[in-house]
Structure 1
C-alpha cells in the first residue's frame, strides 16, 4: 500500500500485473518480518492468508484468460512464487537444540537416590509405586528403551535361558507390541516406532532379577497383561509416566538443575534423556572392547532399534567423542552404575588418539 496505494491488490490482480505483484509481495513480506522482529507478534497467519489469496485468485484467473502468452507467463510466475514463498515465514521458529548427551553424573546420583525403593528421599507413597518406578528407571536408563517401548512390556517381559557357549544363565527381553487389539489406553496410547524397533535385547542379571521381583511381588493382580500399571490396576499411560518424572524433577537439588542447564538442557528430566545416556554408555562400552566405529554403530542400531538408514547412531558417536567417558560398563549392573557416575558435567575432554 505504501508503494502503490490502498487499492493496490485489486488493481494488480485485475490487470494481471505480475511484475508489480511480485514486488508488492516481497515488500509486504519484508515489512511483516521486520514488524514481527520488533514486536514479537505472531503474524504467520496474516502472511499465509495474503499469500494464499493472491496465488489462488491468480490461478482462478489464469483459467479464464484467452491470451495464451499471458497465460503461460502467469503460470510461470505462480510456480515461481509458490517455490519461493512455500517455506518462508515472517515468524521463523527458532530451531530446537537436540541434545544427545549423557546426563551429568550428579543428576544420575540424585535420581538413583530418589527412585531407590527404600530411600527416605523417595517421594512416592506406596511400595508398589516405588518398585514400579525403579523398574521403569532401569528399563530406560540401563536398557535404553523408548518410553512407548517400556509401556508396552508384558508382565512376563523378562526371559531366561542358558548361554550355549558358557553354560551360564542369560537374560533378555523382547521389545514388541502384543496388545494392539486389546490395549485400553485410549489417550496417547504407546506404539512401536518401526519394524526395526521390534527386537530382543540382553539384560544384566541384576536388572532382570529386579524387574522379576517387581512383577512377582509388587505389581499385583490385574486383568491387563502389561508390566507397568497405574494405581487403578490399568496399564500405565504416557501421561502417567510423564508425571513421574515431572515430580522427581522438582526434587532435584539446585546443583543438579544447574548441571542440567550447563549440559544445554532444561532443569527437568524426560524419559528420553535416559535413552541418550544409555546410548553414549553403550557406545563407550563397544569401543572399549576393541570394536571399530562402524561395528559399534551397527551394534547400536540393533540394540536401540534404529533403522538402517537412521542417522541417530552417528549423532551419538559425536556425543561420545564430545564427552569421553573414562570408565565404561560391561554387562554387570554395578559396573554400569559406576560408569554412569563418571560422567562429568560441562567441558570438553581430549578425544582418544
Structure 2
C-alpha cells in the first residue's frame, strides 16, 4: 500500500523510541519481561536505525557484529548476502532477503546497547549457547519466526492506538530512509541539483542494499561510498538519540 511507502512522522518517531525503551520502569513498553523487551528493542533498532529489512534482522548472527574496542575503533554489524543467511534457518518459513551485503556503522552508544543485549540478556533465552542467531524465541530458543516482528508491533499498537495502520517492519525501514534523505538534503546543499541527486541516489542505494540502478554508483570507489554512508549512519543515530525525551 502507499502508506507502507512512508515512514513515521517525527513526532511518532520520537514517541516510538520512548515506548520501546526496555527500562523496567518504562510503563509505556507493551512487552512483558526483561529478555523480550531488550530483544524487541534491539531488533526494532536494526530497522529504524539500520534500514534493515525484516528478513535481514532475523538472519543476524553473533559473528556479524563488531562491537568492542576503543571509541576510535569502527563498530558495525554486517548484513550477509542472501544465500548465507537463509541456509540452515531452523523454521518452516525462512526469512526472505533480497539484498546485497553491506555494513551498518554503529555509534558508540548503539554499539553499547547491542553489546549489553548480547552479553547480558541473550544468555537468558533457552538454548542460547546452541544458537548463533542474535534474536531468539523465548519459547524454544530458536531464531524468531518470520511473523514475530509484526506480532510484537501489533502488541504495541494495542497499547498505543495512535500507531494503528502506521507501524510495520517496512514502515520502520522507510523511517530510516526518510531520515537519510533529510540528512542528505542538508549535507549536499552546496551541490547543483543534478550532482546532488546523483550523489543522493548512490548513497541511498548503498545504504538500502539495493542493486545500483544508477550509473553514478560506478563512479565512486566502494570504500568512499561505504565511508560516506557510515558517517550518515552515525549522524542519524545521534539525531535519533536527541529526539527521545530523555536521551537514554
TM-score class, shorter-chain normalisation, is: 0.7 to 0.9
Describe the SS at the equivalent of 2:62. Answer: coil
Counterpart-to-counterpart distance in 2, 1:224 and 1:162:
24
In structure 1, the partner of 2:220 is none
In structure 2, the partner of 1:250 is 158
Counterpart-to-counterpart distance in 1, 2:233 and 2:58:
26
Unaligned runs of at least 5 residues, structure 2: 215-231
Q: Aligned to 2:92, which of 160, 169, 186?
A: 186
In structure 1, the partner of 2:106 is 203
Describe the SS at the equivalent of 1:174. Answer: strand
In structure 2, the partner of 1:104 is 9
In structure 1, the partner of 2:219 is none
Q: 1:184 to 1:227 in 2, by over 3 A?
A: same
Counterpart-to-counterpart distance in 2, 1:329 and 1:234:
30
In structure 1, the partner of 2:221 is none
In structure 2, the partner of 1:227 is 134
What TM-score comes out, normalization by structure 2 length?
0.76
Q: 1:106 to 1:271 in 2, by over 3 A?
A: same
Matched, 1:169 2:76: no
Q: 1:339 to 1:116 in 2, by over 3 A?
A: closer
TM superposition shift of 1:192: 2.1
Q: Is the contact made by 1:153 and 1:226 (CA closer than 8 Å) also made in structure 2?
A: yes
What TM-score comes out, normalization by structure 1 length?
0.55
Q: Is the contact made by 1:175 and 1:200 (CA closer than 8 Å) also made in structure 2?
A: yes
Root-mean-square deviation (CA, aligned residues, Å) is 2.7
Q: Is the contact made by 1:281 and 1:340 (CA closer than 8 Å) also made in structure 2?
A: no
In structure 2, the partner of 1:125 is 32
Q: 1:300 to 1:339 in 2, by over 3 A?
A: farther
In structure 2, the partner of 1:156 is 63
Q: Aligned to 1:276, which of 170, 174, 178?
A: 174
Spell out, residue by residue over 1:65-86, the C-alpha distance to the aligned partner (whole angstroms, 9 max, x if none). xxxxxxxxxxxxxxxxxxxxxx
Spell out, residue by residue over 1:10-33, the C-alpha distance to the aligned partner (whole angstroms, 9 max, x if none). xxxxxxxxxxxxxxxxxxxxxxxx
Which stretches of structure 1, 4 residues or more, deviate above 6 A after TM superposition? none
Counterpart-to-counterpart distance in 1, 2:31 and 2:3:
31
Matched, 1:116 2:21: yes
Q: Is the contact made by 2:50 and 2:233 (CA closer than 8 Å) also made in structure 1?
A: no
Spell out, residue by residue over 1:305-337, the C-alpha distance to the aligned partner (whole angstroms, 9 max, x if none). 111228xxxxxxxxxxxxxxxxx9852634234
Unaligned runs of at least 5 residues, structure 1: 1-95, 258-265, 311-327, 342-353
Q: 1:241 to 1:222 in 2, by over 3 A?
A: farther
Paired residue total:
213
Counterpart-to-counterpart distance in 2, 1:151 and 1:141:
14
